Amino acid sequence: MPQGSTNGARVRISVEMICPYEPGKPIEEVKRELGLTRIVKLASNENPLGPSRHVVDTLNSSDLELHLYPDYEGWYLRRALAEQLGVTEQQLVTGAGSAELMRLVADAYLERDDEGIVADICFPVYANVIRIAGATPVEVPLDDKLDYDLERMLGAVTPRTKAVFLASPNNPTGRRIPRADLVAFVERLPERVLCVLDLAYWEYVAAEEGEEPLRLVADHPNVILLRTFSKVYGLAGLRIGYAVAHPDVIHWLCRVRLPFSTSTAAQVAARAGLEDQAHVQRSVALNRQGRAALAHELSELGFPPHSSEANFVLVDFRTDAEGLFQALLRRGIIVRPMRHPRLTRCVRITTGTEEQMGMLLEAVRAELC
C-alpha cells in the first residue's frame, strides 16, 4: 500500500483507511490471459439485455452537440422523471450514477467527528463516502437471516450520528426491507439524522411485494431516495442516476455537486429509457425467470441460494469462494466472490440469459459435482 506522504504532502488519515472498490478485469484482458474466446460476465449485476433498442436508436439519430457542455441541471430529464414519479422537479437531482449521489450526501452533511451508520454487509461505497467526508462509519451486523437489524441500527444512533445508509434490496444479499418495517424505522429515526435509501434494484421487486417508498419523502424531510439507470435500464456504461428528496436537501446536494457531471449522452439515453417501459418489463421478466431457474437448479445440486428480490442471488457453495471464482473463471464464467468474513464461502451471481444460465450451471456441475 502506498505511503500517505509524497514530497511532504500527506493525505488525510480517513483516506488512508478507505478500502478501494475492487472492479473486475476487462473482459478482453481475461480472454487474453486465459486463452478464452468467450466470457460470460455474471459479476456486476448488469442487465444482460443491455439498453433498449429505443435508447440505441435515439443516441444514433440524435445530434448530441458534443462540442457543447451538457445541461448542468438535467432540466429535460428531471421534468420527465417528475412526471413519471409524481414529484416536483425541485425534489430531484441527477448524478453520475447513484454512487456520485452518495458522495454528495456525505460531502454536504458529514464532517469530522460525525458518524454514519451502515450494515456490516452492504455496498462498500457507503462506508467509503463517509470516510472521504472525514466522518466515521459505524457498522451494524445484519441478522442471522442476512436481513437488516433495524432495531439494532436505531440503538446505534448517537448524538454524533448524521446519516444511516440502507439499501432495499440490499447488495449482496438481495434482501428487501419490508415496507412496514421501513416506515416504522424512519418514524423512530431522529429528524436530524438522514435516512439514505439506495433503491438501485427496486425495479426488480415484484409490484405486489412493495409500494415504492416515495411516500416516505413526502412524510419525512430527512429521507433521501437514490435511483440509478445502471441496472434495469442497462445504462451502466453511461453513469446516470438521480436522488429524490425534500427540496431543501436537494438544494444542498446541488451546492456541493461539481459542474457537468452527467454527460449529454447519458441524459438523452436516460430520457429515452424512461419512454420504453416495455423494455423494463422484459428485463424484469427475464430476471424473474433467471432467478427462479437458478434457485431450482442450484437447490437440486445442494446449494440453495439465499432468497433475493434483486437481479442476482447469493449462494453458499460450502467451499472457498475465491477458489471457486478462479475455477469458474478458467471456464469463462465471471462471478463475484464474497470476501466479508461472514461470507467467505459465498458467491454472488447476476442473472443472465437462458444460455448464460446454462453455461454457468454446467461449469458449477463440472467443478463441484
Here the CATH number for the domain that contains residue 44 is: 3.90.1150.10
Domain assignment of residue 20, given as a range? 8-50+278-368
pLDDT at 37: 86
Do 265 and 292 belong to one domain?
no
Q: Which of 252, 276, 300 is the last residue of a domain?
A: 276
Q: Are residues 28 and 152 in the same domain?
A: no
5 pLDDT band, cuts 50/70/90, is low
Compute the distance between CA of residue 69 and CA of residue 256 in angstroms, rounded to an integer: 19
Residue 234 domain-assigned (yes or no) = yes
In the sheet where 346-350 sits, what is the strand order?
312-316, 346-350, 336-337
Q: What is the mean pLDDT of residues 177-195?
A: 96
pLDDT category at 369 given cuts 50, 70, 90 is confident
How far does CA 55 lie from the centroid of its chain? 21
Q: What is the mean pLDDT of residues 264-283?
A: 97
Q: Residue 2 falls within a domain, yes or no?
A: no
Residues 334 and 254 both lie in one domain: no
Number of domains forming the structure of the chain: 2
pLDDT of 246 > 60? The answer is: yes
Query: Among 276, 309, 335, which residue terminates a domain?
Result: 276
Is residue 34 scored above 90 in pLDDT?
Answer: no
What proportion of the chain, given as a percentage, has pLDDT over 70? 93
Lowest mean pLDDT among 72-86, 207-221, 343-357: 207-221
What is the per-residue pLDDT for 23?
A: 67
Given pLDDT bands bounded at 50, 70 and 90, which one contains residue 242? very high
User: Can you list the alpha helix ranges (DSSP code H) found in 110-192?
Assistant: 125-132, 150-155, 179-188
Q: Indicate if 127 and 259 belong to the same structural domain.
A: yes
Both 76 and 193 in a single domain? yes
User: What is the phi/psi pair of residue 38, to 5°?
Assistant: -145, 140
80 & 221 share domain: yes
Residue 191 sits in the same domain as residue 236: yes
Order of strands, sheet of 92-95, starting from the edge strand that comes earlier in the sequence: 92-95, 241-244, 223-228, 194-198, 161-167, 115-119, 136-140
| Global pTM value | 0.93
- Verify that 69 and 170 share a domain, yes or no: yes
Question: Residue 217 belongs to a domain with what CATH number?
Answer: 3.40.640.10
Please report whether residue 1 resides in a domain.
no
Euclidean distance between CA atoms 340 and 81, whole angstroms:
36
Q: What is the pLDDT at residue 167?
A: 98
Residue 249 within any structural domain of the chain? yes
- Tell me what pLDDT residue 136 has: 96
Shared domain for 223 and 149, answered yes or no, is yes
Sort 52 into a burial class: Cβ within 10 Å, 0-12 / 13-18 / 19+: buried
- Of the pLDDT bands very low, low, confident and very high (cuts 50, 70, 90), residue 6 is low
Q: pLDDT band at residue 26, thresholds of 50, 70 and 90? A: confident
pLDDT in the model for residue 57: 96
Provide mean pLDDT across the span 222-231.
Answer: 98
Confidence of residue 21 (pLDDT cuts 50, 70, 90): low
* Structure confidence by residue, pLDDT tens digits, 96-120: 999 999 999 999 999 999 999 999 9
Residue 4 confidence class, pLDDT cut points 50, 70, 90: low
**Is it the case that residue 348 has pLDDT exceeding 70?**
yes
Would you state the pLDDT for residue 29? 81
Q: What value does the mean pLDDT take over residues 294-308?
A: 96
Please check whether residue 92 lies inside any domain of the structure: yes
Rounded average pLDDT over 228-256: 97
User: What Cα–Cα distance (Å) separates residue 173 from each residue in 118, 170, 264, 347, 348?
Assistant: 14, 6, 34, 10, 8
Judgement on whether residues 199 and 148 belong to the same structural domain of the protein: yes
| Average pLDDT for 87-93 | 97
**Binning pLDDT at 50, 70 and 90, where does residue 15 land?**
confident
* Mean pLDDT in residue range 294-316: 97
Last residue of a domain, one of 248, 276, 304: 276
- Say which residue, 185 or 28, is predicted with more confidence: 185
Q: Are 215 and 238 part of one and the same domain?
A: yes
pLDDT exceeds cutoff 90 at 2: no
> Does residue 214 have a pLDDT over 60?
yes
Could you give the C-alpha distances from 110 to 9, 98, 133, 160, 242, in angstroms and in order? Answer: 24, 18, 6, 10, 20
Q: Are residue 238 and residue 333 in the same domain, yes or no?
A: no
* Residue 3 belongs to some domain of the structure: no
Q: What is the mean pLDDT of residues 164-189?
A: 97
